[in-house]
Structure 1
Amino acid sequence: MENSEETNEQQNIPQLIITEDIRSYLYDMAKWANFLAIVGFVIAGFMIIASFTIGAAMSTNPELSALMASSALSPIGFTIFCLAYSFAIFYPSLLLFKYSTKAKLGVLYGEQASLNEAFSKLKSLFKYWGIITMIFIVLYVMLMVLSAFSR
């Protein structure tokens, strides 16, 4: 008796249907995500290279050293800032790349586990950007309050 009730309950649960249009949209999204991920990797790579070369140029050039003496940002500080910024670009690019590869597998071969993992990576990407957005909102509010009190 219990088994038949469970079967009836399972039949009343609406199932999610993925049509061919949705599969096409997911595949197109995965291709664009792959492109954006590769661009993000290239930008992060350039930022890493720039962080070491500009930081080294700042410390060896006497004119830049004189300018840096009056500023709060040292060559090492600049390098650390650029490396942190490049990581902030690299991590979402990595999540996008993982999303795109798993989404393509899931859509092309009908692998539910790959599609689940793809959406897990997409969820992590949105969570990352949500946290970054909250951090910047707090920083902007703090800057506005500080600028109001500094006058």
Structure 2
Amino acid sequence: MEEISAFEKFELQLDSTAKDFLKETAKWAYFLSIIGFIGIGFLLLIAVFAGTIFSALGTMQGMGGMGASFGAAMGAAYFLMAALYFFPVYYLFKFSSNAKKAFRDNDSAALTESFGYLKSHYKFFGILMIILLSIYALFFVFAILGGLMGR
């Protein structure tokens, strides 16, 4: 016969204060996700018009070789930023909408799903931070090596 531990019998209950905190968190997460989607829209607009803007700048006096190729590179960079920014904003939006639905309909499955999206949101930022710190560490190592070789 299989024994069930005391921890497995434990069921977490949310009191009214915790529910109020989660409701308010969902509202702020919704607001931040909407602002994030607007920001993504601006990034995409910049990505589309970067080629035109930088091509026009390239024809100005003293701008040298900066032209259409630089504009295309800037457009691609802004598009990449928008694509990268989309996922955490989407996860935050899904967290907020599912959390609001969970409290409106008293649906524990929706609350569980909302926490899954919140986990994905923070997991994305955690992985991104690891990647950025690794890149910074590589730059630091190459800067030291470059300084030592320059002597």
Where structure 2 has 5 or more consecutive residues not aligned to the other structure, the ranges are none
Match of residue 64 from structure 2: 66
Which AA in structure 2 matches 1:139?
I
CA RMSD of aligned residues (A): 2.2
Superposed CA deviations along residues 7-31 of structure 1, whole A, max 9, x for unmatched, are xx48871111111111111100000
CA drift at 1:45: 0.5
Q: What is the alpha-carbon distance in structure 2 between the residues aligned to residue 111 and residue 105 of structure 1?
A: 7
Q: What is the alpha-carbon distance in structure 1 between the residues aligned to residue 6 and residue 88 of structure 2?
A: 39
**Matches of residues 17-32 of structure 1 in structure 2 within 5 Å?**
17-32=13-28
Match of residue 150 from structure 1: 146
- My pick for the range that moved more, 133-142 or 106-115, is 106-115
What's the secondary structure of 1:118's corresponding residue?
Answer: helix
Match of residue 141 from structure 1: 137
Match of residue 96 from structure 2: 100
Q: What is the alpha-carbon distance in structure 2 between the residues aligned to residue 65 and residue 143 of structure 1?
A: 29
Contact 1:26/1:107 (<8 A) preserved: no
Please point out which of 111, 126, 131 is paired with 1:115: 111
Runs of 4+ in 1 over 4 A off after TM superposition: 9-12
Q: What is the alpha-carbon distance in structure 1 between the residues aligned to residue 63 and residue 44 of structure 2?
A: 21
Q: What is the alpha-carbon distance in structure 2 between the residues aligned to residue 11 and residue 57 of structure 1?
A: 65
Q: What is the alpha-carbon distance in structure 2 between the residues aligned to residue 128 and residue 145 of structure 1?
A: 26
Higher helix fraction (1 or 2)? 1
Identity percentage of aligned residues = 27
Aligned residues: 143
What's the secondary structure of 1:17's corresponding residue?
Answer: coil
Which AA in structure 1 matches 2:32?
L
Q: Give the structure, 1 or 2, with the largest relative contact order (CA under 8 Å, sep 6 or more).
A: 1
Please point out which of 86, 93, 108 is paired with 1:90: 86
Where structure 1 has 5 or more consecutive residues not aligned to the other structure, the ranges are none
Superposed CA deviations along residues 100-149 of structure 1, whole A, max 9, x for unmatched, are 00001112221011111101100110110011000100010011011111
What's the secondary structure of 1:68's corresponding residue?
Answer: coil
